[in-house]
Structure 1
């Protein structure tokens, strides 16, 4: 007997975008590593890849991520 049951059925109103199948699903049908979500609407889940691209672009162009010496082991002011 299993101590923990795997949740196989999602909750109504939770929407996910499956990266493996490229589809929108209500409730988690595919494993967590293969999906984005949860989203509150089917429409939001359908635009998950677009939202991810926009956020990635924002993060890549954020000057705070490109300050010298941040996370590189270098002291500020040194190159």
Structure 2
């Protein structure tokens, strides 16, 4: 018996963007490695690549991700701030 049940049908209202097929999908149709989401609306999923580019640019320009040469802080990112 399988430990985890593979979900083949998505929940209504769960929207994903498949980067492999470059299309919006309701529910998880493609494998997880090929999709972004879930998103609340079809429109949000349709803008997934744009949203990802914007977020990547924000992170690339975030001074907390730049090498500061401050010893212990080197290599740390914003998510690590709460772990201290």
Fold shared by both chains (TM-score > 0.5): yes
Structure 1 or 2: more helix by fraction: 2
Give secondary structure in 2 for the equivalent of 1:13: coil
TM-score of the two chains, using structure 1 as the length reference? 0.84
Q: How is 1:1-79 mapped onto 2 (pairs within 5 angstroms)? A: 1-69=1-69, 70-71=74-75
Stretches of 4+ aligned residues off by more than 2 angstroms = 1-5
Aligned-CA RMSD value: 1.5
| Matches of 1:9 and 1:64, distance apart in 2 | 40
Is the radius of gyration larger for structure 1 or structure 2? 1
Instruction: Specify the SS of the correspondent of 2:53.
Output: helix
Distance of 2:15 and 2:2 partners within structure 1:
28
Q: TM-score, normalised by structure 2?
A: 0.79
Which structure 2 segments of 5+ residues have no match? Answer: 77-84
User: Is 2:15–2:41's contact at 8 Å kept on the other side of the alignment?
Assistant: yes
